[in-house]
Amino acid sequence: MKHRPQALYFAGMIVAMLLWGVAWTAGKVAAHHSNAEMAAFWRYAVSFASILPLIWFMKSPLRSDRRGVMYMIAAGLLTSVFNYFFFAGLLHGQAGYGGTLVTSTSPIITYLLSVALLGLKVSAKEIAALTVGVVGALVLMKVPSEGWGFLDLENSYFVAAAIVWALVTIVSQKASKHTTPMLYTTVVFAVAMTSNLIFALPYEPFAFAKYDSTFWWTIIFIGIFPGTLSTALFFASAGKVGAHRTGVFMFIVPIGAIVSSMVVYGEKIEISTLVGSVLAFAAVVIFNARKKR
C-alpha cells in the first residue's frame, strides 16, 4: 500500500509525457487545417479557459512577488514565440521528428545557455554529459550525414523552437522561487494567448465558420489534454517523483510523438533519430546520476 501513491505519480507523469508527445501530431493536423498563427492563438486560448476551473477545483495557492510577475511575463512572451515555431515547423516538417528533436536537444541547450549566460560551473561529470548530449543533438540534426542541412526550412523551425524552449526553461527555474506553479502556468497561458492573438487577427480568429470541424476538435484536444491536463499532472507528480528523475521522464515525449505520427501520417523513424535520442537520453542520465554514498 505504501508504494501505491508513488506508482500513481509515476503513472501521472507518464500520461503527461505521452500527451505532450501526441500534441506534436495533433498540432500538425491543426496547422494543416488552418495556419500557424490561428493554431498558436487558439491552443493557449483553450488552455487558459480550461485551467481556470481546474485552479478553483484544486484550490491551488496563487502567490507571487514583483520579480515573479516579470518572470511570468517573460516566459509567456517566449512561450508565444515557441508556439509559433511549433506550428510553423509542423506545417513543413514531420511531427515525430520535430517532437524528438525539440525534446531531446532542448535540455542540452538549456545547460549550455546556463553555462554561457549564467556562469554555471560544471564538473568533469557534467562536461562529459554535455559532450555526449551535444553529439546526440548533432546526430539528431543530421549534421554527420547532411552537414548543416538542418538549417533548411523544414527543420530550422524545430531548431529555433528548441532554443526558445531552453530559454523558457531557464526563466521558469528563476520564477519558481518567486511564484506558485499554477499561477505561473495561468499567467504564461494568458500572455502567450494575448501575444499570439495579435498575429492571428489578420486571419479572422473569431470567424468560427471559416475553419472546419477537424481544426476545432483538434485544437480543443491540444488545449485541454496536452495543455491543461498534462500541465496539472506534471506539477502534481514532479514534486513526488523527484527533480532528478523529471528530466529522464521527458524522453517519453518522443515516444508519443513518434507513435502517433506513424499512426496518423505514416511517418517513418530514421536511424539518426534513434541514435541521437539515445545519446541525448544518456546525457540526461549522466547529469542526474548520484554519487554512491
Residues 5-44: tens digit of each pLDDT? 677 888 888 888 899 999 999 999 999 999 999 999 999 9
What is the DSSP code (8-state) at residue 1? -
Which residues make beta-bridge pairs with 179? 64
Query: Is 217 inside a domain boundary?
Result: yes
Query: Is 90 inside a domain boundary?
Result: yes
pLDDT band for position 233 (cuts 50, 70, 90):
confident
Query: Is 245 inside a domain boundary?
Result: yes
Q: CA–CA separation, 143 vs 65, rounded Å?
A: 44
Query: Is 293 inside a domain boundary?
Result: no
pLDDT band for position 292 (cuts 50, 70, 90):
very low
Which pLDDT belongs to residue 293?
Answer: 43
> For 63-121, what is each residue's pLDDT tens digit?
999 999 999 999 999 999 999 999 999 998 889 888 988 988 888 888 888 877 777 77
> For 252-272, what is each residue's pLDDT tens digit?
888 889 889 999 999 888 888
Contact 177, 120 (CB under 8 A): no
Residue with cell 481544426: 215
Query: Is 116 inside a domain boundary?
Result: yes
For residue 65, the SS3 value is coil
Query: Is 185 inside a domain boundary?
Result: yes
Domain extent, residue 77, equals 3-288
Give the total number of structural domains in the chain.
Answer: 1
Q: At 139, list the grid cell.
A: 546526430
Q: CA–CA separation, 203 vs 35, rounded Å?
A: 9
> For 183-227, what is each residue's pLDDT tens digit?
999 999 999 999 999 999 999 999 999 999 999 999 999 999 999
> For 119-176, what is each residue's pLDDT tens digit?
777 778 878 888 888 888 888 877 777 766 656 766 789 989 999 999 998 898 888 8
